[in-house]
Amino acid sequence: MAEIKKLYEENFKAHMYAKHYVKESKLEYPFFMEDFYHRLFEEGKLKGKTLIDVGCGPSLRAALIGSRYGCDVYCADLLENNRNFIRNWLDNGQSAFDYSGQFKHVAQLEGNDDFGYLEERVKKCVKDVFYCDIMSENPLHPRPLRQFDIVTSSLVLDCYPDQADYLKGAKSIGSLVRPGGYLAFGSSLSCSYYEIGDKTLPSTDVDGAKAKKAFTEAGLKVLQINEYYYKNPVPGTDGKGLFTLYAIKEI
């Protein structure tokens, strides 16, 4: 796991990822997670005040959706360059990075054509950006462990190809969910690698059933899994598609 951390610190470039997987995404379904989060909130399946996005990366997926529902959002990530990327955007807005495509999509989900209102809403809802390592017993160390009403996480556990690390990460993510709270999780489907620029990074070959097993062992009750298979190969990855998982931690 230390090797994975070093690999990402040396090869994961926040701006490159944001450009190719958010701004200029060639994925068949680029806003899969935004749609998933939006749907859960709309259906009343995500409720609460505090939300942590585990492994937020250089993305504002959870903050964009959760901000509509009055959530206090905490962006947490292993990599300093991702955390600094988000902080820079919070300070400087779209001049720091242009999320227009993503923002426009979310505005349309909310029934609006103009998306200008989203920038201020997101900035207002994000309360902090901090370090998080899901391979640690306390993923928030050196901060004390705390729990949240809602935990979101997308394309993070994918980074750990070893199955023991995958289970450890699932338990770590699950530890952040308060009793009675919710997990909204997303992942690539049957993927062994993806590319960022000229760098190739490993991924884990997992599907909804394997993720359900991991999060069940982590003490969560999985209520819903949806799998989406790409109709055509996607450049830069051998992933077969995407899946989402919705779970609760029973009281």
Tokens of residue 203, six digits: 């991924």
Q: Which H or E element spans position 73?
A: strand 72-77
Give residue 62's pLDDT: 98
Lowest mean pLDDT among 21-25, 62-66, 108-112: 21-25
Highest CATH level, class, for 1-205+214-249: alpha beta
Amino acid at 135: M
**What is the pLDDT of the chain when averaged over all its residues?**
95
Give residue 20's pLDDT: 82
Give the mean model confidence (pLDDT) for residues 60-66. 97
Tens-place pLDDT, residues 134-166: 999 999 999 999 999 999 999 999 999 999 999
Tens-place pLDDT, residues 84-120: 999 999 999 999 999 999 999 999 999 999 999 999 9
Give residue 106's pLDDT: 97
3-state SS, residue 92:
helix
What are the residue ranges spanned by the domains of the chain?
A: 1-205+214-249
The DSSP output letter for 70 is T
Give residue 29's pLDDT: 80
Tens-place pLDDT, residues 198-240: 999 999 999 999 999 999 999 999 999 999 999 998 888 999 9
Q: Which among 212, 155, 149 has a CA at the least distance from the CA of 22?
A: 155
